[in-house]
Structure 1
Amino acid sequence: MEFSHDDNNNLPLTKFESMLKTNHVLFFDSEEFENIIHHYLNEGKIALAKKAIKLGLQQHPTSVNLKLFKVEIYVFEDKLIQADELLNELYILEPHNEEIYIQKANIFSKKDDHLQAIDVLKKALELTDDAVDVYSLIGMEYLFLDEYEEAKVYFMKCLEEDFEDYSALYNVVYCFDFLNQTEECIEYLNLFLDKNPYCEVAWHQLGKQYFELKKYKKALASYDFAIISDDTFVGAYIERGKVLEKLNRFEDAIESYSITLKLDDPTPYALLRIGTCYEKLNNPDLAIQFYEKTLHQDPSLDKGWIAITRFYIKKRNYQRALYFINKAINIDTEHVIYWKLYSQINQRLNFYEEAERGYKRTLELGNYELNTWLSRGDLLIKLGEPQAAIYNFEQAVDFYPENAEIEYRLAGLYFTLNESDKGTFHLKNGLKYNEDYTFILDELFPEIINKVQVKDLLKANQ
């Protein structure tokens, strides 16, 4: 029996807690102690579980089940030697007690000896009347070993015994996903649903598999069946909305997402997707309203800040876009996309120093995309900082060797600084890698295009 505070049968628990307050020792039978300990372990109240075990063993010193709880605590606290010693004593008393094998397997698992754990659990299977839990434990041990095929088999066995074991169902799907067996997963889920047609979790997972294969109509049908099976299933409405978006049915998607707002507390994700749908329906007022609701609900949600910033960029309202991206950066100063947007907006506003600072920060955060190097270098050229621009492009060469766009820029910079040998070297590289990018010289370095040396090099390549 498990206790809860709403349970009319929780008298032993109340009695036990009263005893702890008064220090007046009361008697409990061993089964009552087991239920009390089980309750505290489920609640994560380890200290109270230990007290109950101690008092239980004082009153029932020969109880194997109470000693097994003691083993469980030892394993939890990584006292594996004490746990092993106590288990060996209990094995002599009850060699056919499957719980002894399960706890022995826990010890092996804690030691990362998962094969031994599996061997012991298979012995427990021969003794137990409740195979589901043992199948699940074996499945988990195979997961630790990254043996997903074997793990899948044992989680399927769990479902054969108990089709409502949703944890096992999720693990089966996880194994299929890891093995990239989408078609096989669909086949399994369809067979499972033939026997259990009202399992909303299976319909939900089937929808996700169809979505992965871009079979959106089948995915939609699966989510509809999930909702028929449980019309309060928030996850199914969310996934259904995603499919409807893919089918460009934005009004229907909004309806699906909106249902979740009534079923539970509004999720930032649903609010964000509603905003996105309204934006696609060219309803900017409602789009902004829902983007702002998203950020109010979860100010740390990066997708919300990115969506509202990009909305204003599309509207060419760069001041408003800058306002929101600055707020986002104040919350998270190490988000690469924030800094890239910050740079792009400042560049549109002709705030070149701020834009360059943003690209520099983007690079510092490990975003080494070619466009980031090029954009920052071009800004440094515009700001009249050729040496800094050269240093930037030379760093870029380490990541993008034999890149014509970088080479032409270095050539232009060196010719501008009258370092003709280096300019010639990089111009020859640029022409060798891709002669179509010579327009870079015209655009960024018009003052050097008429230099004799540059003209001769370009002519020689024609």
Structure 2
Amino acid sequence: MEFSQEEPHKVSLKKFESMLKTNNVLFFDSSEFENIIHHYLNQGKVSLAKKAIKLGLDQHPTSTNLKLFQVEIYVFENKLKEANQLLDALYILEPSNEEIYIQKANILSKEDKHEAAIKVLKTALDLAEETSELHSLIGMEYLFLDKFQEAKHSFMRCLSEDSEDYSSLHNVMYCFDFLNENNEAIKFLNEYLDNNPYSEVGWHQLGKQYYAIKEYTKSLNAFDFAIISDDRFVGAYLEKGKVLEKLKRYNEAIENYALTLELDDPTSFALLRLGCCHEKLGQDDLAKQYYYKTVKEDPLLDKGWIAITKFYNKQKNYQKALYYINKAINIDSENVVYWKLFAQINHRLNYLEEAERGYKRALELGNYELNSWLQRTDILLQLGENEAASLNLIQAAEFYPEESEIEFRLAGIYYSILETEKGSYHLKNAWTINPENAIIIEELFPTIYKSLTFKKALNKLQ
């Protein structure tokens, strides 16, 4: 129950706070105390709520509702033994009070006894007149158990009784998404919207589902209906902008993103997308301005720094690109894409040691693309690290056992260190896979390519 802002309740709150300041004990009826406690709990002012509960129970020692608030405080403070004892006493007095079961389930949930909590909540269903909240609570317990089908049906039951419980609507969509049931979600939302045609949240969710299956025109229509239902719905404008980008309608996307800046405080997401749209339109100065606004708004948004990095990389301003990729990596040092970009930029600047470090880190993080193995190998060869290069290639061969580019490089390395038997073995493998890639030896090992030993080995294969 929210604390009402109607005058009598405001008077009660003012009277209560005045009493606390003066230490004069005033009388309140139990419903006044309930509203005061609700208000403080909703505001997160637990210490004031505790004072109101104590004073309330002093004046109304038999009030079940005030005792249930005491249980809530016990649970919040993790005093589960005290909470259970008080609930047991209340159960003897009022065995048909569903709130007792709700609090009991809350305790069981906190003890990770979710199946038991569900059982208790289902008992409460038989006692309650209004069951939407109970279905929602049961749904949450199923979520804790990763039982998404059961959770989905519970939240649906909740919505069938309270169509404006948007928390349950979001939870239903979460279940559909986890189960990869986009078409089922779309069917559910269309039925929901037949009964709630002005639900901006429903239209917004429908737009997201169509977006997920790349039905961009239908997605756009859904977001338009969300905006018709609430023309200040920032989330709908942001999602509409994303769809317009997919449709390459960048000017319209810009209009929608810009509207969000007028309706609410700027978000780093909107600023970043504005930068991307302007860049797609070739408006580099505007793009750069928005990218810098993005990182000013949220200095810890690595995607903002990456956008600036790619902007300068595209303009071949590699020194600036390097400066900004380092900022992104400082925020997210486990991102494979960032390390690859770090390696590529350093390579273009001929900072070979740093480029090699970037590719090595990308490989360590699980980026096993062939190009990463080969680029690192070629850099190691340039640095004269033949042994490290061969070890790198041997690792690469575990992922790409039939790759001539790996085999030709190994052949070149072994011939260059005079291990001709190994060199001949890898040369034969490479030639069998794809003889056209023999040019690799000429490009990376020109001295070996011209040597008499290598030419004899090659002639035997031709």
TM, length-normalised to structure 2: 0.92
Q: CA deviation at 1:124?
A: 1.0
Distance in 1 (CA, whole Å) between partners of 2:188 and 2:49 is: 41
Q: CA deviation at 1:433?
A: 5.2
State the one-letter code of the partner of 1:386.
N
Q: Which residue of 1 aligns with 2:310?
A: 310
Q: CA deviation at 1:329?
A: 4.2
In the TM superposition, structure 1's runs of 4+ consecutive aligned residues that sit over 6 Å from their partners are 4-8
Query: Which stretch of structure 1 is more off in the superposition, 293-302 or 241-250?
Result: 293-302
The CA RMSD measured in Å over matched residues stands at 2.5
Gaps of 5+ in 1: none
Distance in 2 (CA, whole Å) between partners of 1:8 and 1:67 is: 23
Please tell me whether residue 445 in structure 1 is matched to residue 429 in structure 2: no
Q: Which residue of 2 aligns with 1:25?
A: 25
Pick closer, same or farther for the CA change 1:158–1:456 going to 2, 3 Å: same
Q: Deviations over 1:1-57 (max 9, x none)?
A: 644789773233333334444444333322222222222222223333233323322
Please tell me whether residue 337 in structure 1 is matched to residue 337 in structure 2: yes
Query: Which stretch of structure 1 is more off in the superposition, 64-73 or 191-200?
Result: 64-73
Equivalent pair of 2:142/2:150 in contact (CA under 8 Å): yes
Q: How does 1:153-232 map to 2 (within 5 A)?
A: 153-232=153-232
Distance in 1 (CA, whole Å) between partners of 2:353 and 2:195 is: 66
Q: Which residue of 2 aligns with 1:80?
A: 80
Q: How does 1:117-132 map to 2 (within 5 A)?
A: 117-132=117-132
3-state SS, counterpart of residue 449 of structure 2: coil
Query: Which stretch of structure 1 is more off in the superposition, 184-193 or 226-235?
Result: 184-193
Distance in 1 (CA, whole Å) between partners of 2:66 and 2:454 is: 89
Q: Which residue of 1 aligns with 2:234?
A: 234
Distance in 1 (CA, whole Å) between partners of 2:8 and 2:426 is: 84
Pick closer, same or farther for the CA change 1:381–1:57 going to 2, 3 Å: same
Query: Which stretch of structure 1 is more off in the superposition, 397-406 or 30-39?
Result: 397-406
Q: Which residue of 1 aligns with 2:135?
A: 135
Pick closer, same or farther for the CA change 1:408–1:127 going to 2, 3 Å: same
Q: CA deviation at 1:307?
A: 1.7
Matched-pair identity in %: 65
Q: Which residue of 2 aligns with 1:352?
A: 352
Q: Which residue of 1 aligns with 2:370?
A: 370
3-state SS, counterpart of residue 167 of structure 2: helix
Distance in 1 (CA, whole Å) between partners of 2:75 and 2:220 is: 46
Distance in 1 (CA, whole Å) between partners of 2:256 and 2:201 is: 18
State the one-letter code of the partner of 2:296.
H
Distance in 2 (CA, whole Å) between partners of 1:425 and 1:404 is: 12
Distance in 2 (CA, whole Å) between partners of 1:22 and 1:228 is: 52
Q: Deviations over 1:338-381 (max 9, x none)?
A: 33222212212223233223333444555444332322221121
Please tell me whether residue 273 in structure 1 is matched to residue 281 in structure 2: no
State the one-letter code of the partner of 1:60.
H
Q: Which residue of 2 aligns with 1:323?
A: 323
State the one-letter code of the partner of 1:181.
E
Q: Deviations over 1:292-327 (max 9, x none)?
A: 221222222222222222122222232332333244
State the one-letter code of the partner of 1:72.
E
Q: CA deviation at 1:95?
A: 0.7
Pick closer, same or farther for the CA change 1:453–1:76 going to 2, 3 Å: farther
State the one-letter code of the partner of 2:180.
N
Equivalent pair of 1:3/1:13 in contact (CA under 8 Å): no
Q: CA deviation at 1:141?
A: 1.6
Q: Which residue of 2 aligns with 1:421?
A: 421
Equivalent pair of 2:9/2:32 in contact (CA under 8 Å): no
Pick closer, same or farther for the CA change 1:420–1:91 going to 2, 3 Å: same
Equivalent pair of 2:2/2:42 in contact (CA under 8 Å): no
Distance in 1 (CA, whole Å) between partners of 2:313 and 2:71 is: 61
3-state SS, counterpart of residue 62 of structure 2: coil
TM, length-normalised to structure 1: 0.92
Pick closer, same or farther for the CA change 1:413–1:83 going to 2, 3 Å: same
